Amino acid sequence: MAVMAETPETGKNAPPPGSHVWRARAPFRLESGAVLPALALAYRTWGEPTRNGENTVLVFHALTGDQYAWGSHPLTGERGWWDFVIGPGRILDPERDFIVCINCLGGVMGSTGPSSVDPVSGRVYGPDFPQVTIRDMVRAQLMLLDDLGITRLRLAVGGSMGGMAALTLLQEARERVAAVAALAVGARHHAQQIALHALQRRAITQDPAWRAGRYREQGVAPEAGLALARMIAHLSYRAPGELQQRFGARIRKENASRIGEPPLYEVESYLAHHGHKLVRRFDANSYLLITQAMDRYDLAGPDQSLAAALTPAAGKRVFLASFETDWLYPKAEIDELETALREAGAVVTRIHADTPQGHDSFLLPHAAWMEPFAAFVTALRQA
């Protein structure tokens, strides 16, 4: 296995703790035609690959996620974002599976992105980083797997943007993957999802500290803008019923009785907490990049039907989950995807889980989705 051969210390910057860094051997051409002269992807693995890697599970992270799906996060000290899914005796088990999680192209935890130095100009890319697509992200990860000698995947899995990537991988490399699981995501981005991202992008670019994207060289950062973007996003990730139950209309801090100092509501304080947390570990330009990639996501594209675009799914096992309280990626959009996958000949396992936390449900332990997902994974091992 090439796993260890590809690890650290060859690059200029130390990789994030516990991560390997893969570097492309040639310039990487994006879907747009733009070329990245250098491409690095940081990743983590757990478990050992069998001879041909056929026990490999590729886990894709969501918008602001990263390769720290399991174990503690080096910046926040918090547990990995899927630590209840991965681990000995858990659904994805390092004692049986070879689990790979790669920081996406454009991400902030060691992969090439807007914070990287452009080898041509010698300065940080910043706003000049080219637009990328989910397909670009997936192709880069497939090249990484090539270099690791992983020719087969038992499963590619992810939620939200991670699910976009898993489904795109099925289109890109059907011969390499036995099954795909996509949680809380449909076949393309719709107007409201795009609008929410556009509002988040404006929150960033309207922050005067954004400096047209050159904040890093100028020693500032659009922290208020990025925090507001995250607050808008986080609200879209949760569900009104849950928020009402947890926070209601309670005021945390009354402030003055003048309108210039509005009261701080508990629900606002909760969102602000999540905004500030993201600011400590994320980059505004990466946020712009990744939301743009998600907004361009469309498995079908303009010239073909969704079912036609999904013909690579024929005979493949696909697990789809939607969540009753997810108003960002609602049930109807997962229904559309399910119908097209079945039409294309995929063997679909579909669940619709009545969890309270909206879109974020796939990031929280709920038997309603974990039990059927565990059964799906177990069946794959026996296949």
Q: Is 85 in the site for a copy of itself (CB under 8 A)?
A: no
Q: Is 375 in the site for a copy of itself (CB under 8 A)?
A: no
CB 187 within 8 A of CB 167: yes
Among 206, 304, 305, 378, binds a copy of itself (CB under 8 A): 206
Cβ closer to a copy of itself: 207 or 360?
A: 207
Catalytic residue among 160, 236, 322, 361: 160
Give Cα separations from 251 to 174, 262, 341, 365 (angstroms). 52, 10, 47, 29
Q: Which of residues 244-273 bind a copy of itself (CB under 8 A)?
A: 244, 246-249, 257-263, 265-268, 271
Write down the residue that tokens 């330009």 correspond to.
Answer: 285
CB 326 within 8 A of CB 359: yes
274 is annotated as an active-site residue: no
Strand pairing report for 98-102 and 179-183 = unpaired
Structure token digits, residue 129: 């980083």
Q: Least Å distance between CB 190 and a copy of itself?
A: 5
326 is annotated as an active-site residue: yes
Any residues with CB less than 8 A from the CB of 308 and at least 6 apart, and which?
300, 344
Q: Is 130 in the site for a copy of itself (CB under 8 A)?
A: yes
Q: Least Å distance between CB 196 and a copy of itself?
A: 7
Q: Is 330 in the site for a copy of itself (CB under 8 A)?
A: yes
Strand pairing report for 179-183 and 155-159 = parallel
Q: Is 34 in the site for a copy of itself (CB under 8 A)?
A: yes
Among 50, 327, 335, 339, binds a copy of itself (CB under 8 A): 327
What is the number of other CB atoms lying within 10 angstroms of the CB of residue 56?
26
Structure token digits, residue 142: 């497939």
Q: Least Å distance between CB 168 and a copy of itself?
A: 16
Listed residue (148, 182, 178) closest to 53, CA to CA: 148
359 is annotated as an active-site residue: yes
DSSP state letter for 175: G
Residues that bind a copy of itself (CB under 8 A): 32, 34, 114, 126-131, 188-192, 194-196, 198-199, 201-203, 205-208, 212-213, 224-225, 228, 231-232, 235, 240, 243-244, 246-249, 257-263, 265-268, 271, 285, 288-289, 292, 295-296, 298, 327, 330
Q: Which residues are catalytic?
A: 160, 326, 359
